[in-house]
Structure 1
Amino acid sequence: MSALLRALAFLAVCAALTGAAPHWRWPSLPRGVAPPPVPANNPMSAAKVALGRRLFYEADLSINGTMSCGTCHAQKHGFADDNRTRPGALDDAGRRNVPGLANVGWLPALTFADPGLTTLEAQVTVPLFGEHPVEMGMKGKDAELVRRLARDACYVRMFRKAFPEMRGEITTAAVAKALGAFQRTLIAFDTPWDRARRGKAPLPEAAARGEHLFQTQDCANCHAGPNFTDGGYHRLLPVHDDRGLGETTGSAEDDGRFRTPGLRNVALTAPYLHDGRAATLEDAVAAHNPSITAAHMHDIAAFLNALTDQGFVTDPQFALPESACGKRL
């Protein structure tokens, strides 16, 4: 046996002994779109994604068992929420509108007003342990969170399979890694607009006119790129009780600036703006351009509706799992 074959055989044995996950394969992506960045300390695997999916819908991640990630990020709403803001598990008032999660793995920053949160793993700590506002209410409850998951034999098996290098130890860091891995699979690139760009079917006339208006009337200056966001922070509305970026930086120059949201599945993610004050697409467009004509409004709304990926919001691989470890949940 050659040295190369012996090395390959040795690696295969190691993988079998450690339960190492098979190589992850991303689904087909549009030409020119690379897979989302993945942290070196959290490589993708099918086992990790399966665990993250189950944890995404796990209400035991909240202090009183009433709220999961999926409570606020509902698949039918493009993994957003249809309330202006969502109260926390202990009924603390929400501060900001819940953003959708389509293609969230590509976003350079992950909240409306904190450019320092650049990985999904770090962002998980905000709803779990944050206090401004309290969402899932688990600050200081790391041991309780681990205890809850460890009492479920299936979770023990799933963590062991997802994190063989940790011998399946259940930690809040592992929870964050699994949730991050699952969210990177929330990929939406099959809208009428995408299909038109691939030459499969033209956009309806109104939507085509709306795209032209979108590109020529400054919308695309901020809503740019494949996910329709420049990742920047801009001021649209007068500053009231939410300083936005200024709260993070401490600079008055940043008061009232919020990150540009992406627009994929935007027709499903109402209400809009950082505080949810715009109830409809038309309200959101008017907030950007109060003098827009009715005809232009109609066409831009038609274009925004063409950014809906129906497969994304009905795909069962993103939904609440029906079973785990061979048993119904």
Structure 2
Amino acid sequence: MLPSAGLLLTSLLSAGFLPRETSTWRWTLPAGVSAPPIPADNPMTTVKIELGRRLFYDADLSANGTMSCATCHEQKHAFADGNRTHPGVTDESGRRNVPGLANVAWFTPLNFADPAATTLETQAATPVFGAHPVEMGMAGREAEIGKRLGRDSCYQTMFARAFPENSGRIDFPNVARALASFERTLISYGNAWDRQQLAPNAQAGSALFARDCAACHSGANFTDLSMHRLGPADPALPDQGLFEKTGIDADRGKFRTPSLRNVALTGPWWHDGSARTLDEAVAKHGLTHDAAEAKQLIAFLTALSDTEFTQRQSLAMPEEACGKRL
């Protein structure tokens, strides 16, 4: 009788054919930036990150094999998408604009209006299994993910190396752990503001930003990670934001402050993608600036773009796995 896949992997691990210990991830961060919190049950390793990178670009995580994480989170858009919203595999319209993913390792909550999405591991289920709206369309088909990926001998090897503690089990919890590990490497600290190389116009804009915007767009990632509403609540709007999770009237129309890192690359803007330009996005805040000040503020926001991040090869779709071209 042939051994089960789990017993086979356990035997290989015991015999030393697959390493029990994998290389731990070494953070390379600017001075003053601390490593993000990491769940105790999902330590960072290079092999897990490698697996997560491949999974991030794999459309087999969607019902009809047409949609991967990267379908909506494109590197050239700082892992946003360039569209107002993005339809899912059933062509149902998206409800909210796709956010960029720069420095998501430090974010909680992770969604626009869901305070329960506090870790990348738990958030992964929203696009894969969510039904309001349908994105990747795998609700009720969780077991199929393991079956699909398990047919690939390279995935068998990669999961075994990434998760020796559970014999390389190929299932969605391990998929989510690998994806989260890769997403924690989406680090962007290389814009002109980070380098203290703002042009004069952007420097003037930074003073305006500090005066008018930094109360909510605060800290190293330009977000207080809190939920706010601009203007009065409108119960007639189709998207009620935080209210949909809490049922508290005061939460109608509240959404989490988005990060402004790479903001010039992640448009259109606003939680529903309704602002087609940065000028429109700024105007929605009700701020009053003359033409010169508006240009200065936009110059500052544009200076928050990290073009190296959008071209970093270690974040791009992998060209090979297990020594073979994909």
Query: What TM-score do you get using the length of structure 2 for normalisation?
Result: 0.93
User: Aligned in 2, Cα 1:103/1:15: closer, same or farther, shift over 3 Å?
Assistant: farther
1:164-221: CA deviations, max 9, x gaps?
111111010000000000000000001110000xxxxx3111000000000012x000
1:27-73: CA deviations, max 9, x gaps?
1x222211111100000000000000000000010000000000000
Task: Answer yes or no: is 1:20 the counterpart of 2:21.
Answer: yes
1:277 to 274, 277, 280: 274
Residue 77 of structure 2 is matched in structure 1 by 77
Tell me the distance in 1 between the aligned counterparts of 2:159 and 2:136: 22
1:210 to 181, 201, 205: 205
Q: Is the 8 A contact 1:49 1:179 kept in 2?
A: yes
SS at match of 2:261: coil
Residue 130 of structure 2 is matched in structure 1 by 130
CA-CA distance at 1:14 after TM superposition: 11
Tell me the distance in 1 between the aligned counterparts of 2:283 and 2:306: 24
- Deviating more after overlay: 262-271 vs 289-298: 289-298
Tell me the distance in 2 between the aligned counterparts of 1:15 and 1:221: 55
CA-CA distance at 1:23 after TM superposition: 2.3
Q: Is the 8 A contact 1:81 1:98 kept in 2?
A: yes
CA-CA distance at 1:93 after TM superposition: 1.0
1:122-179: CA deviations, max 9, x gaps?
0000000010110000011111111110001111100000001111110100000000
SS at match of 2:228: strand
SS at match of 1:272: coil
Residue 109 of structure 1 is matched in structure 2 by 109
Task: Answer yes or no: is 1:179 the counterpart of 2:185.
Answer: no
Counting matched residue pairs gives 310
User: Aligned in 2, Cα 1:152/1:205: closer, same or farther, shift over 3 Å?
Assistant: same
User: Aligned in 2, Cα 1:289/1:150: closer, same or farther, shift over 3 Å?
Assistant: same
Amino acid aligned to 2:291 = A
User: Aligned in 2, Cα 1:269/1:17: closer, same or farther, shift over 3 Å?
Assistant: closer
CA-CA distance at 1:294 after TM superposition: 1.4
Residue 244 of structure 2 is matched in structure 1 by 247
Tell me the distance in 1 between the aligned counterparts of 2:264 and 2:76: 11
Q: Is the 8 A contact 2:18 2:161 kept in 1?
A: no
Q: Is the 8 A contact 1:45 1:162 kept in 2?
A: yes
CA-CA distance at 1:90 after TM superposition: 1.2
Tell me the distance in 2 between the aligned counterparts of 1:48 and 1:123: 18
Higher normalized helix content (fraction of residues): 1
SS at match of 1:147: helix
Tell me the distance in 1 between the aligned counterparts of 2:33 and 2:15: 34
Amino acid aligned to 1:251 = I
Unaligned runs of 5+ in 2: 1-13
User: Aligned in 2, Cα 1:146/1:212: closer, same or farther, shift over 3 Å?
Assistant: same
Amino acid aligned to 1:222 = C
1:225 to 204, 219, 223: 219
Unaligned runs of 5+ in 1: 1-12, 197-201
Q: Aligned runs of 1:122-201 on 2, under 5 Å?
A: 122-196=122-196
Q: Is the 8 A contact 1:286 1:292 kept in 2?
A: no
Amino acid aligned to 2:220 = P
Tell me the distance in 2 between the aligned counterparts of 1:233 and 1:23: 35
Residue 8 of structure 1 is matched in structure 2 by none
Residue 230 of structure 2 is matched in structure 1 by 236
Q: Is the 8 A contact 1:48 1:162 kept in 2?
A: yes
> Once superposed, what is the RMSD of the aligned Cα atoms?
1.5
Q: Which aligned runs of 4 or more in structure 1 are off by greater than 3 angstroms?
A: 13-18
CA-CA distance at 1:266 after TM superposition: 0.4
2:312 to 293, 311, 315: 315
